[in-house]
Every structure is written in C-alpha cells, then in structure tokens.
Structure 1
Amino acid sequence: MALSDGQLPWQWPKELEGKLRHDPETLSLASTDYGNIVHEKPLAVFYPSSIADISLLIKFSNSLPTPFTIAARGQAHSVDGQAMALNGVVVNMTELNNYRNGSGIVVSEKENYADVGGEQIWIDLLHAALQHGLTPLSWTDYLYLTVGGTLSNAGISGQTFLFGPQISNVHELDVITGKGDLVTCSAGNNSELFNAVLGGLGQFGIITRARIALGPAPTRANMNWLQAKWLRLVYRDFSAFSGDQEQLISLNGKSPDYLEGHLLLNKPPLDLSFYPPPDHPRISSLLTQDGILYILELAKYYDNHSHTIVDKEVEELLSGLKFVPTFKFERDVSYEDFLNRVPNEERALRSQARWDLPHPWLSMFVPKSRISDFDQGVLKDILLKQNLTAQGLELIFPINRNKWDDRMSAVTPDEDVFYAASLLQSSVIDHLEDLENQNNQILQFCKDSGIQVKLYLHKYKSQEEWMEHFGPKWKKFQQMKAEFDPRKLLSPGQEIFTN
C-alpha cells in the first residue's frame, strides 16, 4: 500500500514538489509494465524538467534517515517489475524530451557517433542517423525501447554475433549516480562507473546521455536504395540448424548482416504470414509430421552499388547449408522496414486485444556445448510435449563471446560461442500459471542437467541466486554498488540488494 503525502515523515522540497504526481491514474500506470504480471504502486511519479532535477531528487532521498527508492522508467518494456519502485519514486524519463526541446539526438557525421539522451528510443536514433548516411551497428529486435533501458541490460539481436551487444558500441556516458552526482565516463575516464553501468541493471546510476558508435549505412548516395534481402530457411533437424548457424557467424567478412533462428511449433495460432500462401500447405504438412520446425532467418543488406551482386553473395552464403531443399523463402524490403519489422506484429496483437496480456517471458544464454541437450530437454520434451496454449515466439541463435567486453557488468556463459534462447510467450486467459510453471520446469531441467544458463531480462528471487548469476563478477558488482549507490536507492525492482 502506497503512502500518502500526509503520512510522510518528511516534506518535499519546493523545487521537487510541483514535479511529483500522486493521482491514481499516474500511480496505476507506474505500477505495471509490459509483463503485466507484477504490480507495485509507487509513492509518486517524478516528471523532471531537467537533468538537474533527477540529481536533486536522488540527493534529497540520500539526505533522509530512511531514504525512498528510485526507479527510472522509460518504455517499461520489462516483464518482472524491474521499472517499479514500491513505495518509492518512479522517474518518468520520457519527460526529458520536453526539456531537451528536440535536441535529444545529435549526430556527428565527421566522428561517426551520436550523442543520445537516455530517454530516447532507438527508432528515432535510426531515423536521425540515416539522415547523415550513418546507422547504429547493433540493435534489439524491437526499436521502441529507450537507449538507457537497453544499455542497462545489454541489447541483443541478430547483429550481435557481428558487432557485439549494444553495450559494446558505446563511447561515453553521462550518468547520475545513486549519490546524485552527474558523471561523464568512458573506457578511459571514470572507467569503473562506465563498465559497471553497461549491463548493470540500473544499479549504479541513471543514464542521461550515451555516445553511440555509428557506421556508414550501405550507401550515402541514395537512401531509397538501402535494402535488405530477407531470407528464411526451414530445417527439420536441430543439429543441421545449429551447425549452419555456427558456420555462418564464423565467416569473417563474408557473413550475413543479420542472423537469428526461431521455432515453428505445431500449435495455434500458427503464423505463416511471411511465406507465400501457395507454400502454406507444404509447410503445414512438414509441421504436422514433425511437430517442430527450426527456421534460420538471415539478411544481407545492399544498395545501388551492390544490388547487382547481392544474389551471388546470398548464393555463396547458402552453399552447403543443410536446410530442407526447396524450403528457402525470401523477400526484398527496405533497410528500415527490416529493422523495424516488429511493429507490424504489434499492431496485429493490439487489434486482437492481445498486446496487454501477461508476458511470462523467459530469456537465457545457453552454452554452445549444451545446446543439443537444451533442444531435446526443453524444446522437444517440454515445449513441444506440453503444447500449452499461448501466443508468442521462440528465438534461438548463436553469439560470439569475443564481441563482448568482460569488464562490463553483463554476464554470459564462459564459452567462445553461446546461444540466446528466448521464449517470448503471451498468456491467454487463465494460462499464466501454466506458463510460469513451465518456465520453472525449464530452469529446473537446466539446473538438474548441469546446463549453466545465464538468465537475461529476468530477475532472480534471492540474493544467493544473483551471486551465482554474477559468479566471479559478484564481488566487483557489490563494490561498485557501495561506491556509487551506497544507500541502495536505485532500481529496486531488480531485487538484487533488497532481499
């Protein structure tokens, strides 16, 4: 139960008071997130009119005998309440758009970077960069997420094998620490804070600016010619599917520009919209026989200079791959439409009133050495056999670990290649408990089988589990918390230091 102002053992400073909202509608909005599973009401929601306002809020909390917790909220795309602050204050980061007055993204064409407000969303950075013939290198599949939010986790997608996660493509940050200090940091300046914050789950500071590395877009001559050849290949055998993915991410200089894999499971609703309608019956026939198909999805970018050779490049990429013969499907779309492909699915879900359903997602990193065991024990013996009613997508694709910087807080399995496995399911009515039980069963299987997975975009239930998650990084993680947020104010929804 949230406290009211009349119950508070302090008075808000005048500089803050007018920027705090306590009305039921605002508090209700701040007490839910995309997951729609956890609901925790804050004391207030803070609408900053400047960066200095956030610093003042944090310093005021630090001045109290018993401080209140503070959570930065961007798009609140978390699924386990990570953007919430029970009886604390939620900072509405998007309000900084008004403060910046359109200057939240500044592109340096000469230096190939963009200075981006932590509250800005990636789709807007894409648009701004393309105006200068540039593009960010690493993405998430969904671009309507804030820069500060994804950098607090890692930020992965089908480009991660090539360029690393988004946190590997940052030159510099402005961070307001848990003490209220505004600090500019980079790999060479205040490096401990820089490395701690990247992948640090919001524990050490609030990102207010990030300097993001940009690369040249495939052409500067005619942006309308910036295209993607988008392919999906169908596999019946997991070892062929995983082997081909691993081969493709090892092709230095000749790899695809994007690579992910996902599953087709023989359960409704079956989405075959990517494929030509005349091919639906034969895909469905394979799926009926096997129950599960593996889809290798890749893209190759081209422009008005390379469009004459892109088909030959794709043919060379596919040479020797072991997908089912004649089950190759491709589209030509614009570069932007390819990167921003998820909103089409979002619109469909919203039209079916499915967007706001609970989302008991389970995402993890799986060591390459155990991925076949994961396929048999999780994908076949649990997902396929239980066949629970749910709508969603199951992703599985390999990542090169040498593209990650181990000095940063983000944690991965200790193998040269590991897989991102994400079960992105939406619950239908009365099925949330079934899906949560299934997630627990999957984690228990991995534990019992000795598959040392690392959870991603998920929170553990105890500090002991967090300690196990961070492993050798835990001691440093604790030290950085004591250094930059000694009173444990920030990001309480992660429940790392609150249990």
Structure 2
Amino acid sequence: MAGIVLFIVSCLMFIIGKLSPSSSISLPRELLTHYICNKLRLDNDAIELASRDYGKLVQETPLGVLYPSLVDDIATLVKFSYDSPNPFSIAARGRSHSIRGQAMAHNGVVVQMTSLKHSSYDSGIRVVRNPSSLLGFYADVGGGELWIDVLLATLEHGLAPVSWTDYLHLTVGGTLSNAGISGQAFVYGPQISNVHEMDVITGKGELVTCSKHINSELFYAVLGGLGQFGIITRARVALGKAPNRVKWVKMLYHDFSSFTRDQEHLISINGGLDYLEGFVVVNQSPPSNLRSSFFSPADQLKINSLVAKHGVIYCLEVVKYYDDLTIDTIEKELPLLLKGLNYLPGFIFKKDKSFVEFLNRVRIGEIELEETGTQDVPHPWLNLFVPKSTIMDFNAGVFLEILKKQNKNKGPILVYPMNRNK
C-alpha cells in the first residue's frame, strides 16, 4: 500500500527548537504608560507561570504577561513592538503544552490567550448549521477556546469537529499552530486540514482574515507554523454529525509485522473505522503506557505476563462510532471490520462508551497525575513521520534494539498509520 506513513509519538527526545532573541532587552517605557498596561501583569506570580511549559525542559523569563479581553489588545501590543525602535519578543500562550519554550518570550511579553474566553465579543463559539452552503456545518471559534468546550458547545446542535487531538484541554489556536493529530487523521487529516478560515494577527499587528483563497500564503504559514507567523484569534472549523456512543476495542500483538499490516489494512477500508491508533509496551514500562484503566485487574495480570514473556508487545486500538439509527447494526458491523486480523487469540478487549467519555479519556489520567504530583517531571517528546518502507527497520532498531534491551523507557509510545493524501 503506497502512500502510508506511520506516525510515531514518543517521550524519548525532542527535536523542535525555539526562536528567541539572543540579547537581553527591557520593555519600552512608553509601553508602561500605554493604556494597554492596565492588562499587563508584571508581578512575580504571572512571570513565573509564563516561564514554564509542559515540557519543563527550558525556562525563559518574560518581562510581562498580557491578559487581553479583546483581540484588539493583542494587535495593539504587537503593533507597538513592531513600531518601536526597541522591539521585544511576543509569544502566544494557550495551555502551554509546548515542550521547548515555544510559548515563552525571553525578556518580552507572553500573551495569555485563554483570557479571551471572558470576552464574548472577540471569542466564544458560534455554531452555524447551513448544509446548503459550500461549507456545510461549521463553528467560528476563538483562538483561546479549549477543544473540550468546543465539543460540548457543538454537541448541543448534534454536531462535532471531525478531527481531534488525544487531549482536549488545549486551545484551538495552540493545536492549529502545531497540527492537531489523533486517531481520526487517517480519515479526515489533522485539525489543520479541517479549517476553512482564520483571523490572524500578523507580526505588524494587523488583524487579517485568511483562507485557502484569501491571503492564502498567511493561511498555510500559520497552520502548523508553531506561532512564528501570526497569532490565531479565530478559526472557522469544519463540523460533522456527532455520534452518541462508541465501540472501543483493543487488540494485542507480539509480532510487529502483523500489527502494522492489520493497521494498514484497517485504514484502507472506506467507510470503516472512525479512529485508529496503536502503542508499544515494553517490559518494566509504567502502567500508563498501557492505559491500564481500560483493562480489568484480571486482564491486566494476563497482559503483564504477556509483556514479561515477549519483552515488547503492541496494542492496536480502534473505535467505531454509532448513534440511535445504527444501534441495531453496530454489533454486526464491527466484527466484520475486524474479521481476519492477526491479534493474539484471547487478547481482544471491548468497551462501550459515550462519545464524550471516549474523546475526553486522557483527562482522567491527567487528574490522577495531578493528585500524585508526577505531572511536574520533565516531558521530552518526539513526533516522527516514518515511511512505510522503513517502519520495520525502525521497530528493529529502536523498539527492540534500544528500548527492549536498555529497558529505560518512561513514557507512552504511540504508533499508527496515516494516509499521505490526508
């Protein structure tokens, strides 16, 4: 099957660098007397919070943090810096899930984008149902809104975005500045492939509307641009009909070839599954690598024995959506989709969950980490697209030769295929 790449996510290392000024600067005195200073915090608490991110690998100290209530506040700040003889760095911060300080501004100003949630004029979530238009259903969403809130708002209309990240408590502008990839990407592409239009504040402080057809260079630069080409203040996101519930299935393998072959087969079925991911579990890995809350204690003991026997196992995770109209056919349809797969006999596990429970599943694990305090450890992270032609070499060289032998992995390793044309 030409045209398949496998997406591999690991906490092993990092590759994304940070663009930041090399010399120390101070904020211009004129800014401190500007009206926007009323929304600029210079206190230690605000500065310290804006000096850290999810990665906890670097620390960059800003001189101030802007808490905007209007999009115009951000534009004013950026224009002030652009026009100043002593410009300063500016970084947009959502939930700060960057790993190498991309949401920080050394000796500059960090813009706290979630502050816009309090302004109904400039942000918010507006759902449009117009199937007769070329765009169909869509939502206009503020850049500082969280995806979990977008989900809940659109569900009130029986709709939902079609592409997600595994974790929903991130801002719209944040994930669109990266890519926004999860197990739906083999069908719909990442989140950046499902945006019709955006409002963006450019480096000159101009608020520009852009799309595939209007200001297209800016549109494509900002999507996945790591915040280096503009600040997203509004996105028009594609919506589809939302299901009510999901059938959630996990299957275990000890042979990587069978694992990847089954993954590639499943994403080739038109109108088949709605979500597909997979992950690697190495002996002595933390229980979170297996997302063990999915399994009963008895199943967990069986799986632990399997991991101890083989050293490395692979888990294929799939989901099929259903609603009131398909509730009578889902039990027949799913077995047909999974027919002929080569998972280990006796190691298939199923759950039935609501659509929201499934999409918001990672939040439960986060709450557990917050209670233990382990969320404060560093989080190096690596995202890779690996061609199908070399994925077997990657398994042999990394999963078996390095992880299995050194036995030092401390985080989740996700492996799943996507279609190039998405």
Query: What's the TM-score, normalizing by structure 2?
Result: 0.90
1:100-123 Cα deviation digits (max 9, x unpaired): 269610001224000000000100
- Distance change (3 Å), C-alpha of 1:12 and 1:280: closer
SS of alignment partner, residue 294 of structure 2:
coil
**Which of these residues, 262, 272, 275, is aligned with residue 244 of structure 1?**
262
Q: Distance in 1 between matches of 2:149 and 2:76?
A: 29
* 1:276 to partner: Cα distance: 2.5
* 1:270 to partner: Cα distance: 2.5
Q: Distance in 1 between matches of 2:80 and 2:33?
A: 8
Moved over 4 A (4+): 1-5, 8-11
Q: Any conservation in 2 of the 1:109–1:134 contact (CA below 8 Å)?
A: no
Partner of 1:371: 391
Q: Which stretch shifts more, 299-308 or 119-128?
A: 299-308
Equivalent positions of 1:396-475 (< 5 A) are 396-403=415-422
Partner of 1:393: 412
- Distance change (3 Å), C-alpha of 1:320 and 1:11: closer
* 1:201 to partner: Cα distance: 1.3
**Which of these residues, 31, 36, 42, is aligned with residue 51 of structure 2?**
31
Task: Tell me whether 1:180 sits opposite 2:205 in the alignment.
Answer: yes
* 1:50 to partner: Cα distance: 1.0
Q: Distance in 1 between matches of 2:145 and 2:286?
A: 34
Task: Tell me whether 1:94 sits opposite 2:114 in the alignment.
Answer: yes
Query: What's the TM-score, normalizing by structure 1?
Result: 0.76
Q: Distance in 2 between matches of 1:30 and 1:320?
A: 51
Partner of 1:212: 237
* 1:369 to partner: Cα distance: 1.0
Q: Which stretch shifts more, 227-236 or 274-283?
A: 274-283
Partner of 1:262: 279
One-letter amino acid matched to 1:263? V
Q: Any conservation in 1 of the 2:116–2:122 contact (CA below 8 Å)?
A: no
How many residues were matched structurally? 392
Partner of 1:302: 322
Equivalent positions of 1:81-230 (< 5 A) are 81-100=101-120, 104-110=124-130, 111-218=136-243, 226-230=244-248
Q: Any conservation in 2 of the 1:2–1:41 contact (CA below 8 Å)?
A: no
SS of alignment partner, residue 283 of structure 1:
helix
One-letter amino acid matched to 1:81? G
Q: Any conservation in 2 of the 1:173–1:208 contact (CA below 8 Å)?
A: yes
Q: Distance in 1 between matches of 2:407 and 2:43?
A: 43
- Distance change (3 Å), C-alpha of 1:319 and 1:287: same
**Which of these residues, 24, 32, 43, is aligned with residue 63 of structure 2?**
43
SS of alignment partner, residue 324 of structure 1:
coil
Q: Distance in 1 between matches of 2:251 and 2:359?
A: 19
Q: Distance in 2 between matches of 1:128 and 1:84?
A: 30
* 1:19 to partner: Cα distance: 1.6
One-letter amino acid matched to 1:199? G
Task: Tell me whether 1:346 sits opposite 2:371 in the alignment.
Answer: no
CA RMSD of superposed structures (Å): 1.6
Q: Any conservation in 2 of the 1:31–1:84 contact (CA below 8 Å)?
A: yes
- Distance change (3 Å), C-alpha of 1:312 and 1:102: farther
% of aligned pairs identical? 56
Q: Distance in 1 between matches of 2:88 and 2:95?
A: 22
Q: Distance in 2 between matches of 1:103 and 1:205?
A: 17
Q: Distance in 2 between matches of 1:165 and 1:269?
A: 28
Gap runs ≥5 in structure 1: 219-225, 404-499
SS of alignment partner, residue 383 of structure 2:
strand
**Which of these residues, 36, 61, 65, is aligned with residue 81 of structure 2?**
61
